[in-house]
Structure 1
Amino acid sequence: MNKTRLHYIHDPLCGWCYGAAPLVKAAREVIPVLPRGGGMMTGARRQRVTAELRSFVMAHDVSVAQASGQRFGEGYQEGLLRDATAVFDSEPPTAAMLAAEAMAGRGLDLLAQLQTAHYVDGLRIADRAVLIEMAAAIGLDPEGFAQALDQQLGGPVQAHIKDSRAFMAQVGAQGFPSMVLETEGGLQTVNVSSYLGRPQDFQAWLRSRTPSTQAAPAFGCDADGCAI
């Protein structure tokens, strides 16, 4: 049985994870991708938007945009990052991903939608109403999603984050985003930064390590003899 898959350690509020979004999209066309939300801004690490946070974040965003080509929108830069009433909290959007995954295997689809909502449109993706709206935008039933979200909030999402942190410790991952390729041969850490802005190269690298993409042994006979 082919065990090849890509573990994706991320956070919905991590700008570099937004930069890595094209890599995730490319990877999903090749192998299964298992998202692991690490809870970068949860509990005591939740942060209200301040001038200091804005300056810190925007400096990183410039680097992300240069390295990845990802666009940061005016709604985010001039809206959300200037809204002193907004709170950055990773737990609700991570729970929303778990809910989307439980409903329809759409956790990564919802993550992509939430990243655009946050980094382009400047929406508060920790707000319940926004999460339900974004789930509906990818085709999930709003009422069913709201129920699924309630089931993931609190203990379940916290357990998921704890498990993700334990996996990070196991593989020596230092932050977000981190990717670990799992094959029959074990776990291999991926140098994500070297592929930013190069999703096709990343996809090609993954294909070269995916058994199902390797050429099948020749079968049959031709004029010069048999291949088996």
Structure 2
Amino acid sequence: MSQKPIKKIHFCDGAVKGKILKILQEHYEIILTDKDPDYIFYSVMGEEHINYDGIRIFSCGENVRADFNFCDYALGYDYMHFEDRYLRYPLYLHYQNDTQKTANKHLHISPQTLKDKTRFCTFVVSNGKADEQRTHFFDMLEQYSHIDSGGRYKNNIGKCVDDKDAFLKEGKFNIAFENSSTNGYTTEKLIQAFAAQTIPIYWGDERVTMPLDSSGGGGKSKSFC
């Protein structure tokens, strides 16, 4: 049996790991090291990546587009083609367990499921530096009925939640706003609400209900919802 090729990889500056390692390990023997790596996965949370001469791969969970004048390859949310240098792989695809739960969100719903929803609406956000529409919506809905906020931002339950899925399950609704709105930019927020069998109140990717193609191209593709 032939051995897998060895690849030295380094993640830095907030690069999204997600499912990347698992996928690469199917084809290569991976060594995680910051000593002369072959491939450097990086994001926007620092500048460590400029210290390496290996192949730079932009892998970011934020609403930031790759600069192909600087990176060799990129994983991102954009609907675009750039030969073999770009793969559309939005952030939510890295959340495999939540994605599977979302696909089965209509199953196993019982009267007890509805009885367990003791909260009107949940909100779990730690980053307060986002589009002001999220804060405005929270404040407006709060005037109608109490919203249980379990993140660091606008926390009103006395602590940050340890189990987001369990917390969301207790709510009839969940405010699942993205930090900002750009076509294709879909994070874990929407699918985690679906996975918890709560009703998401969503704002962000205007194309989210349109067919998505993780390859970044056109043609027939599977609907997100």
Structure number with the bigger relative contact order (C-alpha 8 A, sep ≥ 6) is: 1
Instruction: Looking at secondary structure, tell me which structure has more strand per residue.
Output: 2
Normalising by structure 1, report the TM-score: 0.22
TM-score for the superposition, normalised by structure 2:
0.22
Higher helix residue share? 1
